[in-house]
């Protein structure tokens, strides 16, 4: 229906009234708008007058310095300054100054133009020399900062260099968990205790690599100062070294000084009785043994290469594969598998130990470590699930123990063929682990699927526990591992009257990139000592209230069940009797 003419006129009238009202409002507000604009303009002029271009450049230079962004600082240099120093050398000047001063952080103040330079007050907070307040006069021209080497630290004058003279403190004692002395004395003359203490105390020597020497210098020590190179001496270096003292010099002038502060005696988690058992079980052979307290993550014993030399883990890795399979509900302990001598993947046969027939229930397949079951199961699960599960157990994670090596598994994108996935599932391929990591895996199962960060400090606060898998899955894993010791490949680890849960491993060393048709990966072989296989065992006991978890490795020493399991029994026996 077309609009009524009267309605149109009324609308136009209202619109006119609205327009008139808007004109009146605008007329009243116009002076206010003009006043605000004038004030803003005046404030802008005042602020601009207070922040010259030179001051803004110096401010940006100091802010980049505070962040340690040397590239951004270099971009603010004048063309002439950039001709005199390369970007790499420029960054080296600042890094060297920071290391010399043991710099922790910088706190620049407000830049102020002094005519020939912009003065920036800078507070330097150092690890050794305390807080140093100074100024840096930054020469800023039309083309940028006309940089000089004395601009690397507050308080330096043109032509001066930053140097220091330091004095190391007395090195602290390392004590066992019970308070007995493991090692004491100055850094260049450490005296270990007797028995197991002498075996775990470690050794001292010069820093071995350029990175280690740089870290030592940044802590305030002379480059030739002895550091821990092995054992507890290395693992607890930061706790026992103390804080150096000395004098920080600007040319011939003293900028700051401090006295050395020795560390207090450090009580480690090492149980000397368990350590003695681990050393006895190792018996001078090339390998490593780690023992962990499951409910706390405290490391109770370390022998040999327990945390320093990752090796292919072989079938102990099947604990992780089994975890992934149980979580995915791909299997149950009662799931049945064909009894076969090998699995064919990508046309390659992955044989069971000595070509034996193996299979039946999943529980039996785990107890007898059937490659014919676990390699195809790994393919079914896929690389991504295997890698994710391993990483939850601690693979690809840097341990918080100094000197401890990372146990590693390649990213899923690099495990890119069925054969590579099958090999990974049985602990071959490119998987590498330390006894400490495999002790942690066993400890996690013992702790009902919860992982604690391993620690060597008895009195350190415990980190937050991490849920690796569900309690239900952990309980099933425990039953599988009990079967290994009760009737499978790990019977040599059995203890009278004590239920032990474990897993053996025999890792092929001739190839770590996956088995070939000519060189199939073993499961639990009966290889003689000296053959090209590593012997592994990971276990914990007792199963109801676990006291100790162990990871055992013997390099080129045959089969896990024949070589590693008996050694583990010695340490487990000592652990359950504590």
Q: What is the CA radius of gyration of the chain?
A: 34
Q: Give the pLDDT band (50/70/90) at residue 23.
A: very low
pLDDT in tens, 325-362: 999 999 999 999 999 888 888 888 887 777 788 999 99
At what angle are helices 371-381 and 383-393 packed, to 10 degrees? 100
What is the average pLDDT value for the chain, to the nearest integer?
88
Q: What percent of the chain has pLDDT over 70?
A: 87
**What is the average per-residue pLDDT within 300-319?**
95
Is the pLDDT at 94 greater than 70, yes or no? Answer: yes
| Residue 141, φ and ψ in degrees, nearest 5 | -110, -170
Quick one: pLDDT band at residue 3, thresholds 50, 70, 90? very low
Identify the H or E element spanning 9: helix 5-50
> What pLDDT digit, counting tens, does each position of 119-138 carry?
999 999 999 999 999 999 99
Instruction: List the domains of the chain with CATH numbers.
Output: 53-143 (3.10.450.100), 174-267 (no CATH), 272-576 (3.40.710.10)
Question: Left (φ > 0), alpha (ψ -120 to 50) or beta: where does 278 sit?
Answer: alpha
* Burial class of 480 by CB neighbour count within 10 A (0 to 12, 13 to 18, 19+): buried
Q: Is the pLDDT of residue 154 over 90?
A: yes
pLDDT, residue 354, reads 72
Q: What is the pLDDT of residue 25?
A: 39
User: What is the predicted pLDDT for the residue at 531?
Assistant: 67
Our measurement of the distance from residue 339's CA atom to the centroid of its chain's CA atoms, rounded to an integer in Å, reads 42
| Alpha-helix runs per DSSP H in 343-400 | 362-367, 371-381, 383-393
Average pLDDT over residues 299-307: 95
Is residue 217 over pLDDT 90?
A: yes
Query: Among residues 288, 352, 323, 279, which one has the least CA distance to residue 535?
Result: 288
The pTM score is 0.82
> Which H or E element spans position 58?
helix 53-67
Residue 210 has pLDDT above 50, yes or no: yes
Least confident of 49-53, 189-193, 546-550, 571-575: 49-53
Percent of the chain with pLDDT over 90: 79
Count of positions (residues) in the chain? 578
Per-residue pLDDT for 15 more than 50?
no
Q: What is the per-residue pLDDT for 50?
A: 56
- 177 confidence band (pLDDT: 50, 70, 90): very high
Look at residue 519 and tell me whether its pLDDT is greater than 70: no
Lowest-pLDDT choice from 113-117, 354-358, 407-411, 493-497:
354-358
Q: Between 508 and 385, name the one with better pLDDT.
A: 385
Q: State residue 532's pLDDT score.
A: 84
Q: Which residue has the higher pLDDT, 524 or 180?
A: 180
Alpha-carbon distances, residue 382 vs 83, 370, 431 (angstroms) = 55, 18, 15
Q: Is the pLDDT of residue 33 over 50?
A: no
Mean pLDDT of 546-573: 95
Q: Is the pLDDT of residue 393 over 90?
A: yes
Note the pLDDT of residue 11. 35
Residues 499-520 have a mean pLDDT of 65
What counts of helices (H) and strands (E) characterise the chain? Answer: 18, 26
Give yes or no for a contact between 429 and 514, defined as CB atoms under 8 angstroms apart.
yes
- The model's confidence at residue 46, banded by pLDDT at 50, 70 and 90, is very low
What is the pLDDT confidence band of residue 510, given thresholds at 50, 70 and 90?
Answer: low
Task: Return the pLDDT at 37.
Answer: 40
């Amino acid at each position: 229906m077309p609009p009524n003419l009267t309605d149109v006129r009324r609308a136009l009238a209202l619109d006119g009234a609205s327009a008139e009202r808007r004109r009146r409002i605008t007329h009243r507000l116009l002076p206010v708008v003009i006043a605000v604009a004038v004030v803003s303009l005046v404030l802008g002029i005042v602020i601009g007058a207070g922040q010259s271009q030179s001051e803004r450049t110096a401010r940006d230079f100091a802010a980049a310095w505070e962040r340690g962004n040397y590239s951004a600082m270099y971009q603010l240099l004048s063309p002439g300054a950039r001709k005199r120093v390369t970007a790499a050398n420029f960054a080296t000047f600042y890094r060297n100054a920071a290391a010399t001063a043991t710099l922790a952080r910088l706190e620049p103040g407000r830049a102020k133009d002094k005519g020939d330079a912009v003065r920036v007050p800078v507070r330097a907070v150092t690890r050794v020399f305390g807080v140093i307040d100074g100024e840096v006069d930054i020469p800023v021209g039309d083309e940028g900062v006309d940089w000089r080497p004395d601009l690397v630290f507050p308080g330096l004058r043109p032509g001066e260099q930053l140097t220091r003279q330091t004095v190391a403190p007395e090195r602290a004692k390392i004590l066992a968990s019970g308070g007995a002395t493991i090692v004491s004395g100055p850094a260049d003359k450490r005296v270990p205790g007797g028995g197991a203490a002498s075996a775990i105390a470690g050794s001292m020597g010069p820093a071995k690599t350029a990175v280690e020497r740089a870290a030592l210098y940044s802590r305030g020590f002379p480059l030739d100062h002895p550091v821990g190179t092995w054992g507890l001496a290395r693992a607890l270096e930061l706790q026992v070294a103390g804080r150096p003292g000395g004098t920080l010099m600007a040319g011939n002038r003293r900028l700051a000084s401090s006295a050395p502060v020795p560390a207090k005696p450090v009580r480690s988690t090492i149980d000397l009785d368990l350590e003695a058992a681990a050393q006895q079980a190792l018996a001078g052979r090339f390998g490593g043994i780690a023992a962990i307290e499951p409910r706390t993550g405290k490391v109770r014993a370390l022998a040999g290469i327990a945390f320093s030399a990752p090796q292919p883990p072989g079938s102990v890795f099947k604990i992780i594969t089994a975890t992934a399979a149980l979580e995915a509900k791909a299997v149950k302990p009662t799931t049945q598998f064909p009894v076969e001598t090998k699995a064919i993947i990508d046309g390659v046969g992955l044989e069971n130990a000595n070509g034996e027939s193996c299979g039946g229930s999943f529980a039996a397949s785990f107890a007898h470590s059937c490659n014919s079951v676990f390699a195809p199961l790994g393919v079914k699960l896929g690389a991504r699930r295997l890698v994710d599960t391993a990483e939850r157990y601690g693979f690809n994670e840097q341990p918080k123990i100094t000197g401890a090596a990372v146990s590693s598994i390649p990213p899923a994108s690099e495990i890119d063929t069925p054969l590579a996935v099958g090999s990974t599932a049985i602990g071959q391929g490119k998987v590498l682990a330390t006894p400490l990591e495999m002790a942690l895996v066993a400890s996690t199962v013992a702790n009902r699927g919860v992982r604690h960060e391993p620690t060597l400090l008895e009195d350190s606060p415990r980190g937050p526990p991490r849920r690796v898998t569900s309690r239900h899955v952990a309980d099933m894993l425990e039953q599988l591992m009990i079967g290994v010791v009760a009737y499978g490949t790990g019977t040599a680890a059995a203890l009278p009257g004590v239920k032990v849960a474990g897993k053996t491993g025999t890792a092929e060393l001739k190839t770590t990139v996956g088995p070939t048709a000519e060189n199939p990966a073993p499961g639990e072989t009966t290889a003689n000592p000296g053959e090209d296989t590593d012997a592994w065992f990971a276990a914990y006991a007792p199963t109801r209230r676990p006291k100790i978890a162990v990871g055992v490795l013997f390099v080129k020493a045959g089969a896990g069940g024949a070589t590693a399991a008996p050694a583990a029994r010695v340490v487990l026996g000592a652990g359950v009797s504590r």
